[in-house]
């Protein structure tokens, strides 16, 4: 089942996506949301980030094919023996169709990083990997936008990964997706620039979420990224980047210079 968050008639709601329409639901998204009789065409509403997390986590290096880029930028010369999670600022959250804004201080332009994103549905504290897998409500598409020069030069990732608009997610949450063996494709201006499969993840979502939960509590609505693959390149004003996840759909965002 696909759940979207949207704005229509001046109000923000959750809804169930079926074909080209959204049926509004009431109640908690994570506890038996109730269908209403209100339906909209997707083309008539504004899709928003499908969830508003308190925390967004990324696993660090999680694909062997990304080691070359990681070693060039961050000096990582070997694959990790355990997850290396870090926070991505929730101020950076945007939804489908929203602009990725390149800060004026970014001289080379930020890079795309297409990823699968797990949405937490149950509170997780010191859970096992098996319990962690059972805590996932569903999955959405994500783009871990990254400014490589800042990532290389700063002592933390707060601006390289967490600048405003650097966290597009959407277009909706798919609750029936099995995260193993899922294709992830990124296109820049209709040209394929990344392709990976989640079976290539060094640490699966259960392992990542379990590890985080030993030290920090995860709550419903929080999001956890999969990590990205291969070498990436920069985006420039006028570009359009798309992240397509098998079984979910396409997250599409145009790129512009900061006003």
pLDDT by residue (tens digit) across 204-221?
Answer: 999 999 999 999 999 999
Euclidean distance between the first and final Cα of the chain, in Å? Answer: 38
**Largest distance between two CA atoms of the chain:** 56
**Whether residue 77 has pLDDT greater than 70:** no
Mean pLDDT of the chain: 95
Residue 116's pLDDT is: 98
Domain ranges of the chain: 1-48, 49-257
74 versus 8: the higher-pLDDT residue is 8
Q: Which CATH number fits domain 1-48: 3.40.50.720, 1.50.10.10, 1.10.510.10, 2.30.30.370?
A: 2.30.30.370
Residue 38: Cβ-neighbour burial (10 angstroms; 0-12, 13-18, 19+):
middle
Cβ neighbours of 122 (radius 10 Å): 16
∠ CA 165-203-153, nearest 5°, is 45
Q: Are strands 86-87 and 223-225 parallel, antiparallel or unpaired?
A: unpaired
Joined together, the tokens standing for residue 39 give: 């339906």
Question: CA 259, CA 257: separation in Å to the nearest integer?
Answer: 6
Q: pLDDT digits over 91-124, tens only? A: 999 999 999 999 999 999 999 999 999 999 999 9
Task: Supply the pLDDT for residue 76.
Answer: 66
Whether residue 14 is predicted with pLDDT greater than 90 in this model: the reply is: yes
Task: Determine the average pLDDT of the residues in 131-156.
Answer: 96
Quickly name the fold that domain 49-257 has: Fumarylacetoacetate hydrolase; domain 2 (3.90.850)
Q: Do the domains at 1-48 and 49-257 have one common CATH topology?
A: no
DSSP label at residue 60: S
């Amino acid at each position: 089942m696909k759940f979207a968050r949207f704005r229509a008639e001046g109000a923000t709601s959750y809804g169930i996506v079926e074909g080209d329409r959204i049926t509004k639901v009431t109640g908690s998204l994570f506890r038996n949301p109730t269908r209403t009789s209100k339906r909209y065409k997707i083309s008539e509403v504004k899709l928003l980030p499908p969830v508003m997390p308190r925390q967004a986590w990324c696993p660090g290096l999680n694909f062997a094919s990304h080691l070359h880029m990681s070693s060039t930028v961050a000096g990582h010369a070997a694959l990790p023996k355990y997850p290396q999670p870090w926070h991505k600022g929730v101020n950076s959250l945007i939804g489908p169709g929203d602009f990725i804004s390149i800060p004026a201080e970014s001289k080379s332009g930020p890079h795309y990083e297409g990823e699968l994103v797990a949405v937490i549905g149950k509170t997780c504290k010191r859970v096992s990997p098996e319990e962690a897998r059972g805590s996932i409500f569903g999955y959405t598409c994500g783009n871990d936008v990254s400014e490589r020069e800042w990532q290389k030069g700063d002592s933390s990732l707060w601006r390289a990964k967490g600048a405003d608009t650097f966290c597009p997610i959407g277009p909706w949450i798919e609750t029936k997706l099995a995260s193993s063996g899922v294709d992830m494709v990124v296109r820049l201006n209709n040209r394929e620039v990344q392709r990976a499969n989640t079976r290539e993840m060094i640490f699966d979502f259960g392992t990542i979420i379990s590890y985080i939960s030993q030290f920090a509590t995860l709550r419903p609505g929080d999001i956890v990224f999969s990590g990205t693959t291969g070498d990436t390149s920069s985006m420039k004003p006028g570009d359009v980047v798309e992240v397509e996840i098998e079984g979910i759909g396409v997250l599409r965002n145009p790129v512009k210079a900061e006003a």
